[in-house]
A = this chain, B = another copy of it.
Amino acid sequence: MIRLDDTESTIADINLYQDRIGPYLEAIRQKNQGFHTIIDDTKTLDDIMQFVRSVEGRYTHIVVLGIGGSALGTLCLQQSLTPLYRAHPHNSHHPHLYVLDNIDPALLQETLEVIDLKKTLFIVVSKSGKTPETIAQYSFFRKQTDNADLPASKHFVFITDKKKGLLRTISDKEAIPSFIIPDNVGGRFSVLTPVGLLPAALIGIDINKLIRGAHTMRDIFYTDDIEKNIPFRVAALQYALSKKGKSITVMMPYAQKLERFADWYRQLLAESIGKAHDNDGNTVNVGLTPVKALGVTDQHSQSQLYNEGPNDKFFMFLSVQDFGTDMNIPVIHDDPSIDYLRDVSFATLMHTEQKGTQQSLIENKRPLITISIDTINEEYIGGLFMLFECATAFLGEFYSINAFDQPGVELSKVITKKLLT
């Protein structure tokens, strides 16, 4: 079960908004956005699994070419649901996954030097089919496979729009396999479409379980009971606290494998809620600045600021009960300075430090909540994706802005094109 623990002080803030949950749910439904309906598409799941079976054993390397929403969900799935190191023996049953979300020439060149081109599948992800960074990456690797006389239809898969864009044109012309990003699913909401599911399935992640977990959370999202609707409670709090000057949302997972979940959320929150204009056209310049932190690591980097600096942050802790493995800290040396570590397991130390960090923040009057999962598995990760996508949709309603567009990135694209031509 995914649990939300809010502290006493924050519950009061949530209850202010209990009459809004019904109308907001209705407003979100009417927007016809796919983030909450896409998980009913069982046909795509079957198509993905059929593709995965058809290429089994053919590839040693999978390289995802994409940026932003085309990469962040996949990076999160890889980190949370497979071993942390490519060299780990458990990874030998599956191809190694590389996600290239930048165009730095050193990144491209060094990737080329570690993959076995003849046994590599490139997954090219771009909703518009013409994202310049992704097209540039694709062109670079396509040149390599062409030079090596490797057939494009065996070494590339495209994930793009159903009809529009360059990738669709090429796919049609050269019989390159492809999957579809639905019209009504924006990049940052696309992890439970082929964008995240195809690479995940190729490295052995059970995508049916991911979707099952998302379903459980969607049921919670659809309820208008404020006690049960976790996404609404999260959004209500973020909104209420932003009115009190908490303009920064810190997501702090206490689990190494959830670090990239906070990266994924960074995009979701920043692009969805950072908006110049509200739905009535008023200039509002709203937005919550997402900050990623990792427990316990960042206690030794950010806690000083979080406890003593400006009280401008709202903290969302992600907590994991069972890390999948655990062991006691062995007592090698008898020394009073470390006596308190005796008979303590690493999981217990993680949990206790989390509590220490939280109690310290509470004493310093910094607002926080904890979202807990039993363990890191497909169901819970699917549920967490859905939780924060739904919370972000609610947050758009609170702010009365469009949470599903991104008009503010156009200007730099125009300038870049102009400078290049």
CA of A273 to CA of B304, assembled, Å: 9
Structural contact, A406 and B304, CB atoms closer than 8 A: yes
A420 in complex: contacting residue of B187, B255, B352, CB < 8 Å: B352
Kindly list chain B residues whose C-beta atoms are within 8 Å of the C-beta of A398: none
From known contacts A289-B248, A350-B104, A416-B355, infer whether A275 and B308 are also in contact, taking CB-CB under 8 Å: yes
Find the B residue at minimum CB distance from A294: B102
Structural contact, A346 and B275, CB atoms closer than 8 A: no
A356 in complex: contacting residue of B307, B311, B352, B412, CB < 8 Å: B412
Kindly list chain B residues whose C-beta atoms are within 8 Å of the C-beta of A327: 105, 108-109, 140
Structural contact, A114 and B87, CB atoms closer than 8 A: yes
A256 at the interface (CB under 8 A from B): yes
From known contacts A110-B88, A415-B359, infer whether A420 and B67 are also in contact, taking CB-CB under 8 Å: no
The minimal Cβ–Cβ distance linking A242 to chain B, given in whole angstroms, is 10
Q: With A107-B256, A130-B338, A138-B332 given, name 14 new contacts (CB 8 A).
A: A88-B114, A106-B256, A133-B349, A139-B333, A140-B346, A247-B312, A291-B291, A306-B408, A349-B420, A352-B419, A356-B413, A359-B412, A363-B411, A364-B411
Structural contact, B130 and A113, CB atoms closer than 8 A: no
Kindly list chain B residues whose C-beta atoms are within 8 Å of the C-beta of A309: 270, 273-276, 285-287, 289
Specify which of A297, A309, A344 lies most central, judged by the most chain B CB atoms within 10 Å of its CB: A309
From known contacts A270-B305, A333-B166, infer whether A345 and B143 are also in contact, taking CB-CB under 8 Å: no
The minimal Cβ–Cβ distance linking A254 to chain B, given in whole angstroms, is 8
Kindly list chain B residues whose C-beta atoms are within 8 Å of the C-beta of A323: 104-106
Interface size on A, residues (CB 8 A): 123
Find the B residue at minimum CB distance from A419: B352
Find the B residue at minimum CB distance from A300: B68
Kindly list chain B residues whose C-beta atoms are within 8 Å of the C-beta of A9: none
From known contacts A307-B408, A308-B408, infer whether A297 and B67 are also in contact, taking CB-CB under 8 Å: yes
Find the B residue at minimum CB distance from A411: B360
Structural contact, B416 and A102, CB atoms closer than 8 A: no
A135 at the interface (CB under 8 A from B): yes
Structural contact, A331 and B133, CB atoms closer than 8 A: no
The minimal Cβ–Cβ distance linking A389 to chain B, given in whole angstroms, is 15
Structural contact, B412 and A139, CB atoms closer than 8 A: no
Interface members, chain A 99-127 (any B CB < 8 Å):
101-111, 113-114
Kindly list chain B residues whose C-beta atoms are within 8 Å of the C-beta of A353: 412, 416
Binds B, one of A35-43, A49-57, A78-86: A78-86
Structural contact, A285 and B300, CB atoms closer than 8 A: no
From known contacts A346-B136, A420-B352, infer whether A310 and B332 are also in contact, taking CB-CB under 8 Å: no
The minimal Cβ–Cβ distance linking A127 to chain B, given in whole angstroms, is 11
A329 at the interface (CB under 8 A from B): yes
Kindly list chain B residues whose C-beta atoms are within 8 Å of the C-beta of A267: 300-302
Kindly list chain B residues whose C-beta atoms are within 8 Å of the C-beta of A71: 297
Find the B residue at minimum CB distance from A295: B102
A417 at the interface (CB under 8 A from B): yes
Find the B residue at minimum CB distance from A293: B266
Query: What are 15 contact pairs spanning A and B, CB under 8 A?
Result: A67-B296, A84-B111, A85-B114, A89-B113, A103-B296, A136-B341, A166-B333, A267-B301, A273-B305, A289-B291, A292-B292, A299-B409, A340-B420, A355-B416, A356-B419
Structural contact, A87 and B84, CB atoms closer than 8 A: no
Kindly list chain B residues whose C-beta atoms are within 8 Å of the C-beta of A363: 411
Structural contact, B132 and A106, CB atoms closer than 8 A: no
